[in-house]
Amino acid sequence: MNKKQIALLEITVIYFIVAVGGYATFQYFKEEPLVFRMLYADLAMTVVTYIFSVIKKNSSVYDAYWSVIPFYFILQYFYLFDGADWSTPQWICAFVVSLWSWRLTLSWARGWSGWEHEDFRYVSFRHQFKAFFQPINFLAIHLYPTLIVFASMWGLQWVYETGVLEIGWLFYLGAATAFVGTIFEYLADNELAKFRLRPNKKKDDILRTGIWAKSRNPNYLGEMMFWFGVAMMGTAYAAPWYTVLGSVGMWMMFMFASIPLKDKQMMKNRPESFQKYKKEVSRVLPF
């Protein structure tokens, strides 16, 4: 096996250990309400992931967590709420979330070169915070994303626990929004993968083909669409209004943190070509 294959095998073993830690925590808190059992398990898995990121000296151990955990949630709901007897909308929800989860995880695995690679944002944090990096590593890189994904998935508990669809049109609109968002991400990631393999690379090259010719951040657009779609599906099953706040927080994170950080990096590496790209192509929406 080459270095990347060995690294992928290691990360697979790590996530198996993470899952075992989460399951053990979930079983330990049997007397707690379901939402707290799920939260405690999620936090335990985050801690295990953080420990491995310290051991490997690479915070990108956490990168796959973002996309893997929602699929873990679906598996747990299947086990807890008689998955064999789910209604068609419940299966549609499970399909859309699972499609997003597996597609994003496989896209990450395709683009991850191995342990020598760490997300540029984490590298920047290491240089910026130096001796204080580890608190930032745990709180900002591991804990916050875990909490925002958990909050965004919370509404799906009503989809599977109550199983009573109250607003059909809203559910199907949400499912369609999440599905289209997943397709946007698929198209964006494929274009990006092709761009990275282009011949005759130049430092100031900018990806401007396909969906990237209409939006500077089509992958983030797809991500925001997915999470708002999840919120709509939960709301259609009478999830409380506050379960939508997770998706709002997700939107804020992309709009006020992820995209600005990416723009700053692009401006640093490709100032002239990126300045031109900014003037000609929309920041997020493809129009």
In the structure, what pLDDT confidence band is assigned to residue 51 with cuts at 50, 70 and 90?
very high
For 282, which DSSP code?
A: B
Q: What band does 117 get if pLDDT is binned at 50, 70 and 90?
A: confident
User: How would residue 174 be classed by pLDDT, with cut points 50, 70 and 90?
Assistant: very high
Measured distance CA(155)–CA(170) in Å, rounded: 14
Rg of the chain in Å (alpha carbons): 20
pTM, entire model: 0.92
Q: Helix, strand, or coil here: 217?
A: coil
CA separation (Å) from 91 to 70, 82, 87, 98, 213? 15, 12, 6, 10, 35
Domain residue ranges in the chain? 80-280
User: Is the model more confident about 158 or about 108?
Assistant: 158
